């Protein structure tokens, strides 16, 4: 078993601040998607590391009218693992998701 690296107090504070900022960025993006300000597909073109590391499930749950069961069903039909992140989606999975969402609307 490997132990986590020993961090100085400054390094720990910096890591905690970065994590908090990432959560705020993802929350703001999801809120904008939910309110129709942004399109959910913008996550895939984003250069923001926090957005790229967001789970697909979280992103799809931010869509209006999509709940847990509907999102999990959609991801299963698209062949996307429930733990997959935005940056980890392949081209065919992305296109499958687009197609399924268009059919679903």
Per-residue pLDDT tens over the stretch 79-90: 999 999 999 999
Q: Which residue ranges make up each domain of the chain?
A: 13-104
Q: What is the pLDDT of residue 103?
A: 86
pTM value is 0.87
Write phi, then psi, for 102 (nearest 5 degrees).
-65, -40
- pLDDT over threshold 90, residue 1: no
- pLDDT over threshold 90, residue 5: no
Do residues 38 and 29 lie in contact, with contact meaning Cβ atoms separated by under 8 Å?
yes
- pLDDT over threshold 70, residue 105: no
Q: What is the pLDDT of residue 10?
A: 94
Pick among 1.10.8.50, 3.30.450.20, 1.20.140.10, 1.10.1470.10: CATH of 13-104 = 1.10.8.50
pLDDT digits (tens, 9 = 90+) for 25-60: 999 999 999 999 999 999 999 999 999 999 999 999
Which pLDDT band, with edges at 50, 70 and 90, does 104 fall under? confident
Write phi, then psi, for 85 (nearest 5 degrees).
-105, 165
Q: How far apart are CA 66 and CA 70, in angstroms?
A: 6
């Amino acid at each position: 078993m490997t132990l986590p690296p020993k961090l100085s107090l400054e390094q720990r504070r910096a890591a905690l601040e970065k994590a908090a900022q990432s959560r705020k960025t993802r929350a703001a993006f999801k809120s904008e998607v939910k309110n129709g300000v942004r399109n959910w597909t913008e996550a895939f073109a984003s250069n923001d590391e926090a957005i790229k590391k967001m789970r697909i499930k979280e992103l799809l749950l931010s869509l209006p009218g999509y709940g847990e069961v509907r999102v999990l069903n959609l991801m299963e039909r698209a062949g996307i693992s429930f733990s997959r992140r935005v940056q980890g989606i392949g081209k065919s999975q992305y296109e499958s998701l687009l197609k399924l969402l268009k059919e679903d609307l």
